[in-house]
Amino acid sequence: QVQLVESGGGVVQPGRSLRLSCAASGFTFSSYAMHWVRQAPGKGLECVAVISYDGSKKYYADSAKGRFNISRDNSKNTVYLQMNSLRVEDTAVYYCAKELGYGWFDPWGQGTQVTVSS
Amino acid sequence: EIVMTQSPATLSVSPGERATLSCRASQSVSSNLAWYQQKPGQAPRLLIYGASTRATGIPARFSGSGFGTEFTLTISSLQSEDFALYYCQQYNNWPLYSFGQGTKLEIK
């Protein structure tokens, strides 16, 4: 079945870096745009970054511009989120999601917790 | 940026009754709207896309309606497993998608 599995989260000090991975299976990964969406504790959902099916287009939320980089390896069915210069306010559960059809997300991964704290 | 506003923030309804959740967009998103359900400790699950099309496996008691800036998610007869958080999402302008702040559906 279609599945997304995130990894790479953890506890990190402000200013440090972390790389998240999302391994996909059960579908033709190279045909779909992929998103990273985060959810801060007790808060709603925020789209952080998106990458087109072939990696040629990348977009970021203002909160991520200049610090985060999204990439993908279609040979490994994996999308990545490199997060640099992390801030306390980046603390959240990070989900990867497959963009299905014209913009809705299905499915989502189970999420990986990122905690930025000194 | 399109701002999505959901109301109410919390909705208290008894099992078996109908629940109506609202979502408003700051500008027209046509029918490019989805609804998701999220339970504690779980990822969001797609319920509705295209404002009114149920996703695969979603029970018929869930229905969506609306166009432009006003949207509604209706759950016709609440089951115990329906008490959760619900989010709307607009996808009118790739890639700048945005979510509402959520409605918590709780047992009355």
pLDDT digits (tens, 9 = 90+) for B57-94: 999 999 999 999 999 999 999 999 999 999 999 999 88
Answer yes or no: is pLDDT of A101 > 90: no
Percentage, residues of chain A above pLDDT 70: 100
Q: Under a CB-based contact definition with an 8 Å cutoff, are residues A4 and A107 in contact?
A: yes
Residue to test with chain A: of B35, B48, B53, B97, most A Cβ within 10 A: B97
Q: Under a CB-based contact definition with an 8 Å cutoff, are residues A110 and A22 in contact?
A: no
| pLDDT classification of A41: cutoffs 50, 70, 90 | very high
Which residue in B34, B95, B101 is closest to A104 by CB distance? B34
Gap from A105 CA to chain B (nearest CA, Å)? 7
CA-CA distances (angstroms) from residue A41 to A38, A92, A105, A113?
Answer: 10, 6, 21, 10
Q: What is the pLDDT of residue B95?
A: 83
Q: Under a CB-based contact definition with an 8 Å cutoff, are residues B66 and A79 in contact?
A: no
What number is the average pLDDT over the span A13-23?
A: 98
Q: Under a CB-based contact definition with an 8 Å cutoff, are residues B28 and B21 in contact?
A: no
